Structures are given as C-alpha cells and as structure tokens.
C-alpha cells in the first residue's frame, strides 16, 4: 500500500496521529509550515516511535509545492489536519481563516483528484452543530448556526466534501467531528503548545498550575448544567488519534462512500469538575475566579459516540484523570 499524507502533521492532533500511524508500521509523509507548531515536534515523533518519515516544510496553499509531494511519493490517502483553529482570532481575521482553511482544503482535493488519490479523512469539529437542540449529539443532529468563522470553515468544508462526493462517487471520505481534545502523549514529548495566551481550558489550566498565568477565569457559573459551569466532552488526544487509524481502515475496507463520525467519549464534564480533577490527580493548585460568560459559548456539548463504536470499533479508553495527568506531565517538561 502507498503512503499516507498528513497535512499539519507537526500540530497537536496531527503529531499524535503520526505517532500511532508509525507505530502501526504505516509509511507517512508530513507537510507542515509550522504556523502553529515547532520543528522539535518532528524530532520528538522520531524519539517516541524510533521510526522515520518524509517531511516537507510547505504551505498547503502553494499548489506547485503540494503537487511536487504527490509527484515524488506514492500517496494512497490523505488526512487533513492543517488549518487555523483559534475561535477568537477567526472573528478578527475571517478572510485569513476562509482563505487558509477552505483554500487549502480545495487545493489539496484538486491535487488529489489530479493524481487519482481519493481517500480523504477530514478533521471536523463538534462546532458544526452550533447550539445543539439536545444532548447527547448524534451525527443526525442539525448542523449549522456556527458562531464564528473558524467553525464556519469546518461547516463549509464538510459541504464541499458532500458536493465532491455527489459529483464523483469513487471518492472515499471520512469526516471526523472532534469534541474537546485534551491531554498529551504519555511520554510528555508531544502535546498542545499554543502560541501566546491559550484560548482553551486545558492549556490554560496547565499554565496557571505552572505559575505562568496567575489564575483561571471560569466563563460563567449560571448555565443550566450540573454545577452552572459549561459542560464538554473531553477526549484524550491519543484516543482521538487512534480514531483516525480506524477511519482509514474503514476507507480501505468498505465500498466507497462519505462517512461522518463523532469522536468523543459520550461523557460530559463541567469546568469545575475538570479543575478539581486536575488539582487532585496532580496535587497542584489552580487558583480561579468566576468571570462573565464568554460570547459564543454554549452550555452543554457531548457526543453520542455509538455510531463510531458500531461502525469503526472506536471507543475512548482514557478517563479524565488520564487527560489531566498527561496534560500536566507535558506542561512540566516545557518549563
Ligand atoms: N473555559 C473557561 N475558561 C477558560 C477557557 C475555557 O471557563 O479560560 C470554559 C468554556 O467556557 C467552556 C469550556 O471551558 O465551557 C471549554 O472551553 P474550550 O475553549 O476549551 O473549548 P470549546 O468547547 O469552547 O471549543 C472547543 C474547541 C473548538 C471546537 C469546539 C467544538 O476549542 O475548536 O470545542 O465544540 F470548535
């Protein structure tokens, strides 16, 4: 079988997926332009796996450079992690987000078409469900009503993939809607390392625990949830990474199609539960204050994970303690 092209393979979810692919003995080609990642990640992937891969430092908007990758390698399938992902920034810079995320995906798909590579796994997000009518969220739930351009890029790319499949049903596409990926590889060598002040809960907590930031602001304690704080479906990034291998198995085995799966644990935890678990498991303090709600946030979001379980055999194995322990282990190694 040919190689697997991983765009954004130096990023948070991409790097963990590359580790799992290499551990399984797959041949991997990574493209990344380090827009939100570091070169050391590539060395650390090699340290963890003791395996090598081909790497190109290119921007996926550079069509000629992307074509060269397909020219030089026998690519069999593509996993597209590349993309901007900061919700707040996307509100400030919508055109950059639409150009990069959608433009990049279109160039990638056009190049795949040119080289007759038709297996594609796309990193989508639970954000496409907008404000869900009910939880847990199934894949049949209504999509749309995204509250920021980042989320809208995911929604539009999903639509582009549907249109593409309609035009040519020899494509084989898997859309994975991630819930809230957290934690890190247990080696502590790769993890989530956002540039600047983190937007997401877990990296913010680890930076407060490390004393880099003074305190966590909990955005609202008056939601209609178990303790008033927001509830999310946190999933360990290594579990999530393994979901991509199962998605590829599906594309390699079955008849062609376009498939959509939620990747979550099915369990919802509140912000306060997350903070308390982090403190207990790691025996560190995380000072916090209650702050106003953050615009665009929803009260509750968690997956019905049964479709991925039934059709892919996917099941998250790591619990909230594992996520907190591994997230902190990674942060400590960055100090
Ligand atoms: N939160 C805080 N304080 C913080 C950061 C977050 O209280 O400093 C709270 C939020 O209000 C929310 C929860 O922690 O209740 C989780 O917030 P995150 O920012 O970690 O995650 P979101 O659920 O807002 O967004 C995430 C991803 C998006 C993705 C979305 C899908 O960041 O990329 O899940 O639902 F689109």
DSSP string, 29-74: EEEE--TTS-THHHHHHHHHHS---EEEE--TT-HHHHHHHHHHS-
For residue 31, the number of C-alpha atoms closer than 13 Å in the C-beta half-sphere is 25
pLDDT per residue, tens digit, the chain (335 aa), is 799 999 999 999 999 999 999 999 999 999 999 999 999 999 999 999 999 999 999 999 999 999 999 999 999 999 999 999 999 999 999 999 999 999 999 999 999 999 999 999 999 999 999 999 999 999 999 999 999 999 999 999 999 999 999 999 999 999 999 999 999 999 999 999 887 899 999 999 999 999 999 999 999 999 999 999 999 999 999 999 999 999 999 999 878 999 999 999 999 999 999 999 999 999 999 999 999 999 999 999 999 999 999 999 999 999 999 999 999 999 999 88
Would you say the CB of residue 129 lies under 6 angstroms from ligand 1? no
Active site residue 150: yes
**pLDDT at site 335:** 81
Q: Is 25 exposed, middle or buried (0-12, 13-18, 19+ CB in 10 A)?
A: exposed
Determine whether the shortest distance from the Cβ of 204 to ligand 1 is under 6 A: yes
Atom of ligand 1 nearest to the CA of 293: 11
Q: How far apart are CA 225 and CA 269, in angstroms?
A: 10
Q: Choose which residue among 227, 291, 294 to substitute to test ligand 1 binding: the one with the highest number of ligand atoms within 8 A of its C-beta.
A: 294
Q: Which of 158, 201, 264 to mutate to test the pocket of ligand 1 (most atoms within 8 A of CB)?
A: 201
Other CB atoms within 10 A of residue 317 CB? 10
Query: 297: CA distance to ligand 1 center in Å?
Result: 7
Asked if residue 35 has its Cβ within 6 Å of ligand 1, the reply is no
- Centre of ligand 1 to C-alpha 81, Å, is 19
pLDDT at 1: 75
Which string of DSSP letters, residue by residue, matches 220-274? -S-SSSSSSS-EE-EEEHHHHHHHHHHHHHHHHHS-S-EEEEEES-S--EEHHHH
The three-class DSSP label of residue 9 is coil
CA distance 241 to 11: 12
Helices and strands (DSSP H and E) totals, the chain: 12, 14
* 199 CB within 6 A, ligand 1: yes
Buried b (16+ CB within 10 A) or exposed e, 267-302: bbbbbbbbbbbbeebbebebebeeeeeeeeebbbbb
Global pTM value: 0.98
Measured by CA distance, the residue closest to atom 30 of ligand 1 is: 127
Catalytic residue (one of 97, 150, 204, 234): 150
Q: What is the distance between the alpha carbons of residues 69 and 111, in angstroms, rounded to a whole number?
A: 10
Is residue 48 a contact partner of residue 72, using CB atoms and an 8 Å limit?
A: no
pLDDT at residue 196 in the model: 84
In this prediction, residue 213 carries a pLDDT of 96
Distance CA 81, CA 10 (A): 9
The per-residue pLDDT for 195 is: 78
288 Cβ partners below 8 Å, 6+ apart? 208, 215, 216, 217, 218, 275
Ligand 1 site, residue 201, Cβ cutoff 6 A: yes
List of residues 6+ apart from 73 with CB closer than 8 A: 2, 3, 5, 29, 54
Cα–Cα distance, 243 to 129 (Å, whole number): 20
Q: Which of 84, 232, 240, when mutated, tests ligand 1's pocket best, judged by the most ligand atoms within 8 Å of its CB?
A: 232
* Whether residue 59 has its Cβ less than 6 Å from ligand 1: no
Report which secondary-structure segment, H or E, holds 334.
helix 320-334
Looking at residue 221, its pLDDT comes to 98
């Amino acid at each position: 079988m040919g190689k697997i092209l991983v765009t954004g393979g130096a990023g948070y979810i991409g790097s963990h997926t590359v580790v799992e692919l290499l551990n399984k003995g797959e041949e991997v080609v990574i493209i990344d332009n380090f827009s939100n990642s570091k070169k050391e990640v590539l060395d650390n992937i090699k340290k963890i796996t003791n395996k090598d891969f081909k790497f190109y430092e290119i921007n996926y908007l550079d069509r000629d450079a992307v074509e060269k990758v397909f020219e030089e390698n026998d690519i069999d399938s593509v996993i597209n992690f590349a993309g901007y992902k900061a919700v707040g920034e996307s509100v400030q810079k919508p055109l950059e987000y639409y150009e990069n995320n959608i433009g990049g995906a279109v160039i990638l798909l056009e190049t795949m078409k040119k080289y007759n590579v038709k297996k594609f796994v796309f990193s989508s997000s639970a954000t496409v469900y907008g404000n869900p009518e009910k939880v847990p969220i199934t894949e049949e739930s209504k999509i749309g009503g995204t509250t920021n351009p980042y989320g809208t890029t995911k929604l539009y790319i999903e639509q582009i993939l549907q249109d593409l499949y309609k035009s040519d049903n020899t494509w084989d596409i898997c859309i994975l809607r991630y819930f809230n990926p957290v934690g890190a590889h247990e080696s502590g060598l790769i993890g989530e390392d956002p540039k600047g002040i983190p937007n997401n809960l877990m990296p913010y907590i680890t930076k407060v625990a490390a004393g880099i930031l003074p305190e966590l602001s909990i955005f609202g304690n008056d939601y209609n949830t178990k303790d008033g704080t927001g509830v999310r479906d946190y999933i360990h990034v290594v579990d999530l990474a393994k979901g991509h291998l199962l998605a590829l198995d599906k594309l390699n085995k079955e008849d062609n199609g376009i498939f959509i799966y939620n990747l979550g644990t099915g369990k919802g935890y509140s912000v306060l539960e997350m903070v308390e678990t982090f403190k207990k498991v790691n025996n560190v303090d995380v000072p916090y204050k209650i702050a106003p709600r953050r615009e665009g946030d929803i009260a509750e979001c968690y997956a019905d994970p049964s479709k991925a379980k039934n059709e892919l055999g996917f099941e998250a194995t790591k619990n909230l303690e594992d996520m907190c322990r591994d997230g902190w282990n990674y942060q400590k190694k960055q100090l």
